[in-house]
Structure formats: structure tokens, C-alpha cells
Structure 1
Amino acid sequence: MAMINISDAAYNEFRELLTANDITDTTVRIALAGFGCSGPRFGLMVDEPTENDATELVKELNFVVEKELVEEYEGFTILSDEENGGGGMSLRPLRLDESASGCSSCASGCSV
């Protein structure tokens, strides 16, 4: 089972983003960036793997994720802007505990 699901369109868009920002390193970490009303948020950064990481090579990019995150979320899907309905590129976990999301998870309240 693949840890990273990414279409050719999303891969090309991601590579263009790296190039536009003068990022030449091809090792990219997916990391938990916190929680919001919609559940967990993830970020991407250039980083080297450690012994606590799972890695997956996708074409020329080496994705790195903490093994615990892979176990909890079963991997990730990276969507292109078009695949995300024009909402920009998106990084989503394959499995998400629905009880971990929703307005009840924060004290600030949500507006609908």
C-alpha cells in the first residue's frame, strides 16, 4: 500500500511550487502542524529522514513521514488545485477519525 497518493498533475504542480521557491532539495517531510475545527492540519517542509520515519520515493521526490503518523492516518493524498476544485493544492490523510473534527473540538466556536 502506498503511503503517498499523488497524481501526475499534483506531482507536477508540487514540483513547480518547489522550483518557484528555489527549493532544490528533493526530500520533503509531511508533519502534523496542529488541529483546527476541521481536524488535523499537516504541513510540508524540507527535512532529512530519521530512524522514526517512513519514507517513500515518488518519481524524484522522497517523502518522509513519522511512522506514528502513517499508522494513525494510513498515508496521505496530495491533490492538485484542479483536483481540489480550484481551492489550491491540498494534503489530506487517507483515514480521519470523524470524532476528531467538528466545532465541538475548539472553544472559539464556528460560524456556518
Structure 2
Amino acid sequence: MNNTLVNMIDISDAGYQEFFDLLEANEIEPKIVRLALAGFGCSGPRFGLMVDDPTDSDVVEIVKDITFIVAKDLYDEYQGFVILSDEENYGGGMSLRPKKIDEAAGCSTCATGCAV
């Protein structure tokens, strides 16, 4: 049986509507999305979304009509996620960020450095 967590996902009404509209525009049915680690960059981990089904090793949160799933170990490491609308992200597009950020990650960890 899948574990259900409350507040795995922090999302405003505006963020929810923008995300829901994105799923609708891409004809995603049912609206079940997995949050997954997509790699690392100078600013830390990057996350992506994919259509998938939950497994026994996932945690699940249903926000209105969207079901979010994430691997339990990823949830444990980042303690959940925040989804920001374009407006909340100051016009930088929708954003998916972890709740817990490793302060050691950043430009100083890159061998080549970051453009400023």
C-alpha cells in the first residue's frame, strides 16, 4: 500500500491552476505525475516530472485533481517540494524546488565555476 503524506507538495492556488492547465494542454490523463531527480548543476539538484504510476516504495499526495508521487528516499532527502507559478517565480516560468536545500551546494562546488 502506498504511503500518503500531507504537505509533501506546497503549491498555491495560482501554481495549481497553472500546473493543471499544463497537464490539460498536454492531454495528460489521469493527472498522476512523478517528481524525480533529473541531475545536478551548479545551483544544486534539478528535478523533473514524468507521467508514472505509484509503487510501494513511493509517497503520494493528492492535491485537488492531481496526484503527485515521489520515491520515499527522495522525499526523505529533500523533505518535500514547492511548486511556484510563473508569477510567483517573478516571470521565470514555473519552478519545482526542494523544501530542504543543501547549503553546501552552489557555485563554489563546481570545478569550472559559474557565470555571474
Query: Which category of TM-score, normalised to the shorter sequence, fits these structures?
Result: over 0.9
- Structure 2: where are the runs of 5+ without partners? 1-5
Q: Percent identity?
A: 65
TM superposition shift of 1:23: 1.5
Q: Which residue of 2 aligns with 1:75?
A: 80
* TM-score, with structure 1 as normaliser: 0.94
Q: Which residue of 1 aligns with 2:115?
A: 111
Counterpart-to-counterpart distance in 1, 2:57 and 2:111: 33
**1:18-56 Cα shifts (integer Å, max 9, x gaps):** 111121221110000000000000001110011110000
Q: Superposition RMSD on alpha carbons, in Å?
A: 1.1
> Number of aligned pairs?
111
**Is 1:20 paired with 2:64?**
no
TM superposition shift of 1:108: 3.2
* TM-score, with structure 2 as normaliser: 0.90
TM superposition shift of 1:69: 1.0
Q: How does 1:60-99 map to 2 (within 5 A)?
A: 60-99=65-104
Q: Which residue of 1 aligns with 2:47?
A: 42
Counterpart-to-counterpart distance in 2, 1:2 and 1:12: 18
